[in-house]
Amino acid sequence: LNTFYEIAKEYPEINADDWFIDIMTAKLVDPKRRTQFKVLVLPNLYGDILTDEAAEFQGGVGTAGSANIGKRYAMFEAIHGTAPRMVKEGRTQYADPSSVIRAGAMLLGHIGYPELSKKLERALDICGQYEKKLVMTGRSTGATGREYCDYILATIADPDLDRKWQSYQG
């Protein structure tokens, strides 16, 4: 925690605080409190648990991207890893592509393409949280990954993408 608070001094506009993990998990599911958290700095085990919990608010671990950003290198990936259970059960065609696409949007922002990142993020929000014309279930009861990618691509190509996204904001 000492290092955390030393680094926090470099960002006076951010309210730095530390919590026990059990209280943090409770506050994250509290609708009144969870919007107050913008950045979480956690060791790997707790970070893995809390990011999976937080991903549920946007549709589950199949929808969340992940980034590990260092001083010289950055890595972006699907939060759920390789989903070996889906491979073992022969359900790979039903894997939700949103997580790796969201990681791609994070990568675009990181390497200097914020407008492309925003466009991709907005298309993912529209498809996964608002319109939901296709639903990913991870099984034959839902769309395939290819069908869902086509839906996302069509949404990106929509010239009214920004207006449509804004209409859901409020």
Provide the greatest CA pair distance for the chain.
51
**In this structure, is residue 15 part of a structural domain?**
no
Q: What is the mean pLDDT of the chain?
A: 93
Residues with Cβ < 8 Å from 70, sequence gap 6 or more? none
- Cα–Cα dist 148/94, whole Å: 9
**In this structure, is residue 25 part of a structural domain?**
no
**In this structure, is residue 158 part of a structural domain?**
yes
Task: Compute the average pLDDT of residues 47-70.
Answer: 87
What is the reported pLDDT for 170? 78
Residues with Cβ < 8 Å from 12, sequence gap 6 or more? none
pTM higher than 0.85: no
Neighbouring-strand partners of residue 67:
76
DSSP for residue 40: -
| Segment 86-128, tens digit of pLDDT | 999 999 999 999 999 999 999 999 999 999 999 999 999 999 9
**In this structure, is residue 22 part of a structural domain?**
no
- Cα–Cα dist 133/63, whole Å: 16
Give the domain CATH number at 160: 3.40.718.10
Per the structure, the complete domain to which residue 114 belongs is given by 42-167
Long-range contacts of 78-82 (CB under 8 A, 24+ apart): 78/103, 79/51, 79/52, 79/55, 79/103
